Every structure is written in structure tokens, then in C-alpha cells.
Amino acid sequence: ERYLAKVKALLHQELSAENGDVAPLLQASNGCSKNGAYGSDEDSERTGPDGEEDSAMEMEEAAASSSSSSSVPTLRARKARRSRSNGESKKSPASSRVTRSSGRQPTILSIFSKGSNKRKSEEVNGEVKQEVMNVEKEEEELEEKEQDEKRIKIETKEGLEIKDEITQVKTTTPAKTTPPKCVDCRQYLDDPDLKFFQGDPDDALEEPEMLTDERLSLFDANEDGFESYEDLPQHKVTSFSVYDKRGHLCPFDTGLIERNIELYFSGAVKPIYDDNPCLDGGVRAKKLGPINAWWITGFDGGEKALIGFTTAFADYILMEPSEEYAPIFALMQEKIYMSKIVVEFLQNNCDVSYEDLLNKIETTVPPAGLNFNRFTEDSLLRHAQFVVEQVESYDEAGDSDEPPVLITPCMRDLIKLAGVTLGKRRAVRRQAIRHPTKIDKDKGPTKATTTKLVYLIFDTFFSEQIEKDEKEDDKENAMKRRRCGVCEVCQQPECGKCKACQNMVKFGGSGRSKQACLQRRCPNLAVREADEDEEVDDNIPEMPSPKKMLQGRKKKQNKSRISWVGEPIKSDGKKDYYQRVCIDSETLEVGDCVSVSPDDPTKPLYLARVTAMWEDSSGQMFHAHWFCPGSDTVLGATSDPLELFLVDECEDMQLSYIHGKVKVIYKAPSENWSMEGGLDMEIKMVEDDGRTYFYQMWYDQEYARFESPPKTQPTEDNKYKFCMSCTRLDEVRHKEIPKVAEPLEEGDGKMFYAMATKNGVQYRVGDGVYLLPEAFSFSMKPASPAKRPKKEAVDEELHPEHYRKYSEYIKGSNLDAPDPYRVGRIKEIFCNIRSNGKPNEADIKLRICKFYRPENTHKSMKASYHADINLLYWSDEETTVDFRAVQGRCMVVYGEDLTESIQDYSAGGLDRFYFLEAYNAKTKSFEDPPNHARNSGNKGKGKGKGKGKGKGKSSVSCEQSEQEPAELKLPKLRTLDVFSGCGGLSEGFHQAGVSETLWAIEMWEPAAQAFRLNNPGTTVFTEDCNVLLKLVMSGEKTNSLGQKLPQKGDVEMLCGGPPCQGFSGMNRFNSRTYSKFKNSLVVSFLSYCDYYRPRFFLLENVRNFVSFKRSMVLKLTLRCLVRMGYQCTFGVLQVG
């Protein structure tokens, strides 16, 4: 009874306590707080080590649950909401206590409830007391064990070592997890400083609607303010906040905009003339953007640096940030204002030192409203990268005649002190940030695997995308990387006027200076060039100015310099030909190569081969067969400076113009050329001593073709004056001269012939020919296209948009496209007979039958839209044309006479036409063609008016002309198709019958599967082409899947179209890293060509490939192929 009375008194005391006293008891009892969250271990350890207070509290808790009805649902609710966190141990003390209490308390409650309702004897009470005491002892033992566990956990977290004999429980430290980041702004989501945009007011407008608000209009209806409708409007924005798509406030100078992360901003937009940063008079706008660019301006001496945003609709100048965005914006202010100070100081002080710049910065008072009081050297060095990038950007935006600010001495010192990286504005920042959710399987684009030859040529252009060999970083390559080779300055030729050019060997100098043209200083490396120029100038002694030679004037020099050696080897009329000549103690022979002084001293020396020397009334002369330097070809500045090209140009020159003797070596392809691919060959063909050059190709200047040199050998009769250029030009002129052959008979003052030739092509009676559009006209004149009415005088102030309705330009219009060739059939070939009785073979005439195209009929142009492009109409109209109007030969047949389908006939060859009907222009009707048009054997009589003498010959000649040359059955080329896709390019070669695709490389699995279905016999590699090339170059025979790799000598033709994303004009982001790696696949493709050395090579790409980066990729591609020894050219095809 005393025990029960003591328990009742204790319970009564606790139940009557205030709520503030009950909460700590409950918290110590089960580890729960009022909100249902469990307390820490420290809170649970406030009980004594013996566990008595815990036992008493559990009994009090049980009594409270039975006596107080209001506390029961609260306690259950707390237990129901409880969930174990990831870092919580499975055997935490709180959980053990809850489990233990739920298991022991029903026995106490049942005994307590029975004792309170009934009177028990002393024996029963004693048993109850004994049972309660046993329970208390068990809980004391468990509490001691729990306290030890808790103590071990606490000391483990603090890094202490516990030496306790009782402790036998081992604990493990939970693994550290990386805090989550926002996928857009890259800020930590658990960062307490992360702020969210609070939202726009209800009256905020969208950007297009805001821009049309009358409060922002600068002009009224009666004013004319816009000079150009292409300019973006400019406004100011105040109380602005910048945030990402998820609403996180974020800075805009950390490279997010450069990485194409969409950032937006909100605020009050004000007119450009309003300088008040308050909200009055502003238009509240929401979610302006995304921001395309941010920029700094105001380098005109003003107090503040103006920061602006550019969106797709307008430019905005920032005024004051919002209260929530002010802390973020303040962090960017220091470096922005510092860049303004530096640029303005260097504008007017080009030769200042670093100390002068530092003094200017430290004495400048920051504008009011910033969080710092003064600028220091530490802040300058801390923000040096940003400041230098702004100076670079400032130089790029300047005029071409302005000296760059970046090369001033103080900026160069700053770059050295701070270790600034030049030429990588924002690119380094973009590459340093990696997407955290990137799948491990996708490791991104691989660097291009290249052969050494391709690597040395393309290294300056794709330096970041080509896999480099550390061993190749020798001095030669380091010097090569000094010039970027891409910018406009690097691509222009030497001026020939500056001191550096005049010292070059190519301009007649000594070549000792080794300085580049002063007009070709690469701006991307101007700082390094400026530093090196200072060092070089200190070591080069002053040289006297070179004497001006008289090569600019056609003045004969002293006869004593030039003297013939030996007797003339041939006398031809008034010319005496010699084999040798001595010029300034230097002997020249016929066949030697010389440098020739040009008329313009600013041009480099011309190089030529001496093919003949003679003396006549004009003096001592020689015949020069010119060489073309690589810089004068399509290669431009990308060519090898020592490589020359043969051209069909020659000239007679005076010997006094010869500057000196040079050595030009012909580099013929080796006999084992196809197996030398991929070897570590030197890029230099000859040593650069200023007088040694080489050539391996002939260059066609009209079509930009590189071909093997023609093999024309001299004869014994013309060996003393043989000129390869003259011989070839004579052959071309001879072929261009029209000639007639196989005369038939004479009649009516004319001489008829069966055949005429022009440009090596034979034209016979009955052949179809192409003629110039102006060669003849048609009886039916098609309706001229409707012309737009002329512009009428309109009041532009009253109708300012009137000009848009009457624009003469129509995108995609074919009105200015040239007309196609006329098509006719030769009926007669004749020449008029002169008064002396001989035919005038210089004036050849043709009598032809006209063919109508569908657009030449009365149906006009619309008829051609639904007709076959090879369809013609026969007509009985005839006309006489000049043979010079003939442009080529074609085949015209009657469709019903074909033994195959019209489609197969048209696809069987070029220049094939057919007709099914005849057209009568008088009646504007279509009729059946006459029999003589349908009969292929009766193509007309040899001459007109029914005279039959020429009939037999004409028929024979017609039959001969009708016979097509037999098709040559050549073995198909073993082809490798790289970047094959589903096989479109290979299919074209298959249809042409020239190749058999045995291997294909396509990384995209769906396209590779389609290629396998289209070409079952082809081995398709579904791997990265760079990986495959590396395997082949390392000597592997198979890939990882066991597929056999093609080896050297296996591939006879290589074709492919490297990805065009980087070159396409439709790609706005073709200068970013992804597109650069795509572009570098051109280098990989050329490396395939260099390694396998196939007989034929074809590279296909988009039109913009020709003009991309000032045609640099095209030029370097041709440079690679020429260096390999390929005859090559390029063309822009009409494929639409």
C-alpha cells in the first residue's frame, strides 16, 4: 500500500504540472519533441547513468496514458509520425526505449488498474512489488548498455579514442554525400545564402508588351527617330533581379550565359534618358530574356561603368539592383569598375608602366554606393583575368587602325604577374564546369586521332581537339604555334614595303633578320610578339638600308655583268641561241631555275625556269616558264612557303632582270607511295636556305585544280628552245580552232561536209547539239514574267511602311537565272565558198532543226513544272547558226523507238533527251512527229535540196554517230565509307557502278543498322572513328568485337561526309566546344586518307564548308591532300 500510495502521489504531482514542465519529461522519455521529431543523443543522456530516472519516467508516462485521456492521442500521434532518417542507426537508444516501454508498460498498467479498483492483500501486493522491482533491474542493465553505446557514438564523431573495457559495440562513420547542386546555376541547394526570386508584381508585363508601352517611347507620331529598323531599342532597368529558370538568384558573370544557360531578369524598365533609379515612371516587366549577352560600356571618362544585357528584343542598361539582389550584384562591382579604370587610363597613356597603372588604381576613389572604400593591388591581381579579358574585348571592338591596348608595357607586366591566360575568354570557364548528372557511359567527344603529317598541318587550327603526343612538343612546333594562322592578318600576304619584307630573300634581301612582315602581326599573340620583339631588337645590329635595285624600271644594266659562254648553238633567222650565260660571275644554263626581279619592288621575287636564251635586236633575252608560289593558289597563306607549282604561263624577258640562281627540285611520288601512309615523315620537303624550293604538282588557275605535272618531252629539233607551257598552250589553241572534215560536195555556193570538230569533239550530221540561248529564237514567244509595277511617289511620313509592300527583292526567285542551252539536230554542215573558189573553213555554219522545251511552248514556264527535265518537242522549224555557238553534243531520240524504259534511258548517261510529240507553233498544238524524225536511220541528207550524192555517205556517218562507245567494264573499287549514315553516299557510287563498299563506320546505332540492311555484305563498325584509327595505327587486326579491320593496301576508295554541325550556317553555336570537336572530325577523316592512301578520295560537306573561318578548313584540307601527293580540286554543286 505504501508503494502504491507513493506511485499515486508521484503521478498526481506530475499530471497536475504545467504544460511547460510536461514537455521536457516527454522529450526525455521517448526522445520526441512537440513537433514529432526525435531529439539528439545528448538530450537523451541527461538522465543518470544508473537509469533510475528513466524507469520512473516510463512508469509516470504509463500512468499518464491511463489516467489522462487528453494525452493519449497526442503521444500516439507523435509515434505515428516518426520516421527513421538515413543517417540514424538501427539500434538508437530512443528506438530501444520506445520498444521496451511498449513491451513492459501493459503489465504495470494492468496491475495498477486492478489495484486501484479492488483491495488486495499484502501477499498480492508483495508479488506486485517484486515484479516491479525485477522490471526496474532489467531496465537498469539495458540503460547502462545503451549509455555505453551512446558514449561511443559521441566520441567517434569527435575523433577521440575510447579505451573502455565494457564497450564491445563497433560503430561505423556514415559515408559523406555530395551536396546537391542546381543543374542551371550550379549553386548548392543546401546553401543558406541561396536566395529565391520573390516573384513579379501583378501588373508586370511580358517583354514584347512592355516594349510597346507608351511610357518608353522616345518619339511621338510626328517625329522621325529611327535610322534603322535593324537596331535594337535601348532602355534602362532598375530594381532588377537576375535568376535562372528555377527561380534562384544568381550572378551573371560566372560563365552561365556563355554556357547557354537561360538566365532571366525582372525589374522596372525606364526610358534611356531617365537617370533616376527610383521606380517612378518605370514599367514593371517580368521574365525578360533569356539574356543573350552581357557587356560593359561607358569607357568615356564618366563616373560609372555601364553594364548592359542584350535579349532578342532590346538592350538594357542596369541601374540599381533590387534589395534582394543587391548583395550578389555588389560582389561584381569591384572588378567591373576596375576594368573601366584600366581601359580609360590606357586609352591616353600607351607607354605607362605597371607602377603607373597601380598608382592610378590606388588613387582612384570608388563611386558612391559600393561596399569598398579603395582599390588595391591585391584586388587588381585578384581580378586580373577578368580585367585582361575586358581589354581584349575592347581591342577587338576597336577600329583596325587603332593600336591595341593589350600590348602596352603595363598590361604585359600584369599578365606575367597574375599568370593570365590569353585568347581564352570564357572558354576556360566553360570547359572547367562539368555537368554533374553526366552519364559515365557517355564520355563526350574523343580527341581526333591523326597521323603526323595531318597533325603538323592542322595543329594551329584544332589545337584543343587533336590528341597530342607529348614528345612532339619540340622547338619547331613551339615556334609554329606562335601564329594562329586563322585571323585575317595571318591570311594576308606580305606587304613587301616594310623593313622586314625588304630583308626577306623572296623580296631580294639578305634574309638575316628573320622578322615577320610588320603588317602581319597576329593580334591573338600580340603580347608575346611584343615581348620577343624587344629581346630581338636588342641583339640585332643596325644594318644599313638596302640599296634600291633598278628592277622597277626597265633599264638595261651594264653589259659587263652579262656575257655569253661559248658559241651559239643555233641560229634561227634573227636570233642566235646560246646554251650558257655568265651573270655576275654566276653561270646559268638552259634548264636552270632563276629568281626574277619584278617591276613592282613591293612584290616578292618571281621564280622561273630558263627554257631558252638568245640574242636579237631587243638585246640579251631568255624565255621564262613561271612557277606559281603556293600563296598565289587557292591555298593562300596555308601553303608551304617553299612549295611551288607549275603553271601554263611563260614570257620573254631580258637577262638583266635575273636576280640570281635558285634550285627547284621536283618531288616525284615514290614507287611505294601507297604503303608510306601514316609514317613519321617530316613536313619539310627541303631545307630553307632561301634559294631552294620544290614542286610536285601542276596548278590550273581557272579551276583551282592540282594535277600531276604533264609529261611532255622535247624533241631533238626543239631541245634548245623547248617550253612545256608553250607546247601545252599550242595544243589547247589547236583544239579550240573549229575544223571541218570529210567534204561531201559543192552546191549553191556552199561546200558541204559530213563532220566538224571543236575542242576535240566530233560533230556529224544528225547529231544533237547544245547551242547558246542567243543562237536562235522560237516562233512562239512565251509570256514574259509579270513585272512589279514601278514605285509611285508616296508620302513616307504618311505611309512609313509602304516600302515593304513593293520590295523588288524576292528570296529564292529564279527570274535572274540564265536560260538553259537550246537543243537542235544538225541537218547540214557547210562553209561558204569565197570568190577565189575555196571554201572559207574559218567560218563554219550549221543548218539545224529546232527542239522545243516545255517552257518554250505557249504554255510558258508552268509547263516545265510538271514535265520531265529531259523532255523535248520536235518541230519542223529550221535555222542556220554559227558553229561557234555550239557548246557540246547530246543525244535526242524518239521515245517510242527505245528498247528500254524512258527512266532507264535517261539514267544510262549524261546529255540524253527524248521527244514523244511534235509542236506546231502556228496552231499552238501538239502533233505526232513525222516519220523522218522518228526514223533514227534517216537523219537527213548530206546536203539539202534532195541531191542524193551525199546520201550514202551521210547515212553511213549517221549510223556511225549513232553508235555509242562500248562501256568499259572496270573492276569495282574496294571502298571504305566513313560517317556512312544509312548509306546514301555509298548507294550513289553503287548505282554508278564504280565501287563496292566493303567497310563502313557509323557511330549511331540506328543508322548503322539501316546501313547493314541496305548493304548486307558490308562490315559495319559501330564505333568512334578515332578509336578505330588508333587501333589500326597500333597494328591491331580486329576491333573489340572481333571484326576485321581494313589494312594498308585494302582500301581503293575512301568516301565520307564528316559531321556538318560546326560548318552549317543554321547552327548559331558553331563556335562552341561541341561544334569544334565535330569539326575536328575532318582531321580524323584526312588521317584515314593519309594512312590508307586510297586511289580515290571524296569528302562531302555543306556549302558553308567552303567559307567557314575564312575558308581555312578548306585550304588546310587541300594542303593536306597536296602534301600527300593527291591530285585534287573542289567544287560547289547544285544538288537541290
CB distance 496 to 604 below 8 Å: yes
Which residue ranges form the domains of the chain, and what is each CATH number?
2-157 (no CATH), 181-217+230-324 (no CATH), 334-438 (1.10.10.2230), 474-539 (no CATH), 561-665+679-722 (2.30.30.490), 738-780+819-962 (2.30.30.490), 973-1124 (3.40.50.150)
Q: Which of 517, 1060, 1120, 1128 is catalytic?
A: 1060
d(CA 1050, CA 998): 10
Distance of CA 253 to the CA centre of its chain: 25
pLDDT in tens, 275-293: 899 998 899 999 998 999 9
d(CA 1083, CA 1113): 9
pLDDT (0 to 100) of residue 653 = 87
CB distance 103 to 95 below 8 Å: no
Return the bridge partners of 1097, or none: 1054
pLDDT (0 to 100) of residue 141 = 57
d(CA 404, CA 424): 17
Return the bridge partners of 850, or none: 824
pLDDT (0 to 100) of residue 1060 = 65
Residue with cell 561541341: 1074
pLDDT at 766 over 80: yes
CB distance 989 to 995 below 8 Å: yes
pLDDT at 936 over 90: no
Return the bridge partners of 620, or none: 615
Nearby residues of 1019 by Cβ (< 8 Å), 6 or more positions away: 998, 999, 1000, 1043, 1044
Low-confidence winner among 71-85, 696-710, 769-783 (lowest mean pLDDT):
71-85
pLDDT (0 to 100) of residue 696 = 93
d(CA 671, CA 686): 20
* All cell numbers assigned to 449: 586521332
Nearby residues of 306 by Cβ (< 8 Å), 6 or more positions away: 296, 297, 298, 317, 318
pLDDT in tens, 540-572: 333 333 333 333 333 334 445 888 998 989 888
Sheet of strand 1096-1099: strand arrangement: 1019-1021, 995-1001, 973-978, 1053-1056, 1096-1099
pLDDT (0 to 100) of residue 1016 = 93
Nearest to 524 by CA among 566, 485, 572: 485
> Per mean pLDDT, which of 298-307, 524-533, 799-808 is the most reliable?
298-307
d(CA 18, CA 14): 9
Nearest to 642 by CA among 717, 710, 574, 692: 692
Alpha-carbon torsion, ordered 111, 117, 122, 123, to 10 deg: -50
**Phi and psi at residue 158, in whole multiples of 5°?**
-85, 0
pLDDT (0 to 100) of residue 1091 = 93
CB distance 78 to 32 below 8 Å: yes
* All cell numbers assigned to 608: 622561273
Sheet of strand 234-244: strand arrangement: 283-288, 263-270, 234-244, 315-318, 306-310, 293-297
3-state secondary structure 78-136: HHHHCCCCCCCCCCCHHHHHHHHHHHHHHHHHHHHHHHHHCCCCHHHHHHHHHHHHHHH
d(CA 332, CA 256): 14
Determine the angle formed by the axes of helices 326-348 and 354-362, rounding to 10 degrees.
130
Report the chain's terminal Cα–Cα distance, integer Å: 109
Nearest to 1118 by CA among 1082, 1091, 1075, 1088: 1082
> In Å, how far are 211, 272, 313, 401, 738 from 233, measured between CA atoms?
9, 9, 8, 29, 65
pLDDT (0 to 100) of residue 489 = 63
* All cell numbers assigned to 452: 603526323
Q: How is residue 421 annotated by DSSP? A: P
Residue 966 CB-half CA count within 13 A = 3
pLDDT at 41 over 90: no
Q: How is residue 1030 annotated by DSSP? A: H
Burial profile 911-933: b = 16 or more Cβ within 10 angstroms, e = fewer? ebbbbbbbbbbeeeeeeebeeeb
d(CA 1106, CA 1121): 16
DSSP 577-614: EESEEEETTEEEETT-EEEE--SSTTSPPEEEEEEEEE
pLDDT in tens, 699-732: 998 999 999 998 878 877 778 889 999 988 988 8
Q: How is residue 854 annotated by DSSP? A: G
**pTM for the whole structure:** 0.54
Return the bridge partners of 321, or none: 240
d(CA 152, CA 169): 8
> In Å, how far are 213, 235, 274, 685 from 281, measured between CA atoms?
12, 13, 9, 73
d(CA 741, CA 761): 12
pLDDT (0 to 100) of residue 878 = 93
d(CA 1054, CA 1094): 6
Of all residues in the chain, what percent carry a pLDDT higher than 90?
32
> In Å, how far are 982, 989, 1002, 1011 from 1017, measured between CA atoms?
14, 15, 16, 10
pLDDT at 147 over 80: no
The chain-wide mean pLDDT, for the chain, equals 75
d(CA 91, CA 1075): 56
3-state secondary structure of 786: coil
In this prediction, residues 130-144 reach a mean pLDDT of 51
In this prediction, residues 578-583 reach a mean pLDDT of 92
pLDDT in tens, 447-471: 667 788 887 777 755 555 455 554 4
Nearest to 368 by CA among 341, 330, 318, 340: 330
pLDDT at 81 over 50: no
pLDDT at 136 over 80: no
pLDDT (0 to 100) of residue 482 = 53
* Residue of higher predicted confidence among 715 and 75: 715
pLDDT in tens, 816-871: 788 899 999 999 999 999 888 888 888 999 999 999 999 999 888 888 888 999 99
In this prediction, residues 664-668 reach a mean pLDDT of 92
pLDDT (0 to 100) of residue 1066 = 53
Amino acid at 984: G
- What are the E-state strand segments in 271-314? 283-288, 293-297, 306-310
d(CA 14, CA 24): 12
Does residue 1060 have an active-site annotation? yes
Nearest to 343 by CA among 276, 404, 394, 379: 394
d(CA 681, CA 1121): 14
pLDDT in tens, 1050-1068: 999 999 988 866 555 555 5
pLDDT in tens, 782-823: 655 555 555 567 787 888 877 666 556 666 677 778 889 999
User: How many helices (DSSP H) and strands (DSSP E) are in the chain?
Assistant: 31, 33
Residue with cell 529564292: 812
What sign does the dihedral 376-378-383-389 (CA atoms) show?
Answer: positive
Nearest to 316 by CA among 244, 236, 378, 436: 236
Q: Cis omega before residue 929 (within 30°)?
A: no
